[in-house]
Amino acid sequence: MKKQLIGLGVADASPVPEQATILLFGAGLVGLVGSRLQKKIIHS
């Protein structure tokens, strides 16, 4: 397992599965687009 420095200590870094990464990234994009559209609709 890889070790990663966090602050002053060392913690185990576990890899994130690719599907979960893509899902989180997509959810973030949907949220950003949704908030932009909501602002446009409210201010129109």
Tens of pLDDT, residue by residue over 8-44, are 555 566 676 788 889 999 999 999 999 998 888 887 6
Are 11 and 1 spatial neighbours (Cβ–Cβ below 8 Å)?
Answer: no
Q: pLDDT at position 42, please? A: 82
Q: pLDDT at position 28, please? A: 95
CA distances from 16 to 13, 19, 21, 34, 37 (A): 9, 8, 7, 26, 31
Q: pLDDT at position 3, please? A: 57
**CA nearest to 1, candidates 13, 18, 16:** 13
Q: pLDDT at position 4, please? A: 57
DSSP per-residue codes, 1-44 = -EEEEETTEEEEE-PPPHHHHHHHHHHHHHHHHHHHHHHHHHH-
Does 5 score more than 80 pLDDT? no
